Chain A
């Protein structure tokens, strides 16, 4: 989506409130699904979406407009989501073995195969998990992922390959589509 030039003008002129309002209108839904693809649970995605917009508003005046607003917000959302994932993982580890209960989310009614797949994904290291989810749910190209996660395309491909192998082993599958 091509962002209107008026947004950059608003930023330059310091008209932050109407600019923020336009960003909320345009990107709430897209950012929500991006965050949910990393966190899977609705309640977590809802919290992180809120945090993403708070951070966006707080640093909007400092944003230099060198990239598109969406790219910048996408990065904020990704960092917030990964931070949240780490926090939840620490909590779950201190409470006992990592047990991702997707079934506990009332806003998920996927089939058993997807539940098993996501349980296997939850066992992967954070980075592999993220790469796998971005590829699986968003079909995100590695190049775009590379800019978002600030990691080389080669490293991302390797992470995805390892993630695929581990999941296939875990689920006794030949291929994951």
Chain B
């Protein structure tokens, strides 16, 4: 680099070496890390933490788990009504399904029938199933 025109001030390195030597007097050196405590102490620490966790699991069972074990018959009527009011989609799911226009018309025809004839349903399905396969 020197030959390519990169210069330095006169006596730069002599002065620099002197100033760099002072670093050892002015800057604090980081101490090497202390060796870790014996493994047996560490094992006791982890074992006691694990025991505390297991104890906490039995003493304070998870709220979500408790809810999952409740059967429908355990629920009060008000709770069911409240739940359905909170989730109106559950009452009218068809509102949120994207049914093609022509099919929805056909479905409405079926709704008008008071009693559905099994053979009529079978015929309908035979006529239309292939279209949707």
A108:B7 contact, CB within 8 angstroms: yes
Partner of A53, one of B1, B13, B23: B23
Query: Are A40 and B6 in touch, CB under 8 angstroms?
Result: yes
Q: Answer yes or no: B92 CB below 8 A from chain A CBs.
A: no
The answer to whether A54 has its CB under 8 Å from any CB of chain B is yes
Q: How far is the CA of A37 from the CA of B17 in the complex (A)?
A: 20
Q: Is the CB–CB distance between A54 and B23 below 8 Å?
A: yes
Which of these, B4, B19, B27, contacts A114 with CB under 8 Å?
B4
A2-10, A58-66, A74-82, A166-174: which lies at the interface: A58-66
List, in ascending order, chain B residues with CB within 8 A of A109's CB: 5, 7
* A158 is an interface residue with CB less than 8 A from chain B: no
A-B contacts counted at CB < 8 A amount to 73
> Does B27 lie within 8 Å of A108, measured CB to CB?
no
- Give Cα A54 to B9, complex, Å: 22
**Known interface pairs A37-B1, A110-B5. Does A58 touch B29 (Cβ–Cβ under 8 Å)?**
yes
Q: Does B32 contact A (CB under 8 A)?
A: yes
Known interface pairs A21-B24, A49-B16. Does A114 touch B5 (Cβ–Cβ under 8 Å)? yes
Q: Is the CB–CB distance between B8 and A53 below 8 Å? A: no
A57 touches B17 (CB 8 A): no
Contacts of B33 in A (CB 8 A): 62
Of residues 28 through 46 on chain B, the ones whose CB sits less than 8 Å from some CB of chain A are 28-33
Q: A-facing mask of B88-128, CB < 8 A → 1, else 0?
A: 00000000000000000000000000000000000000000
> Across the interface, do A59 and B23 meet the contact criterion of CB distance under 8 Å?
no
Q: Could you list which residues of chain A lie within 8 angstroms of chain B, going by C-beta atoms?
A: 16-17, 20-21, 24-25, 28-29, 32-33, 36-37, 40, 42, 46, 49-50, 53-54, 57-62, 107-111, 114, 137
B positions within 8 Å CB-CB of A: 1-2, 4-9, 13, 16-17, 19-21, 23-24, 27-33
* Cβ contacts A to B, 18 pairs, < 8 Å: A25-B17, A28-B13, A29-B13, A32-B13, A32-B16, A33-B1, A40-B6, A46-B16, A49-B16, A49-B20, A53-B20, A57-B24, A57-B29, A61-B31, A108-B6, A108-B7, A111-B5, A114-B4
The 3 lowest CB-CB distance pairs between A and B, nearest first, are A110-B5, A107-B7, A24-B20
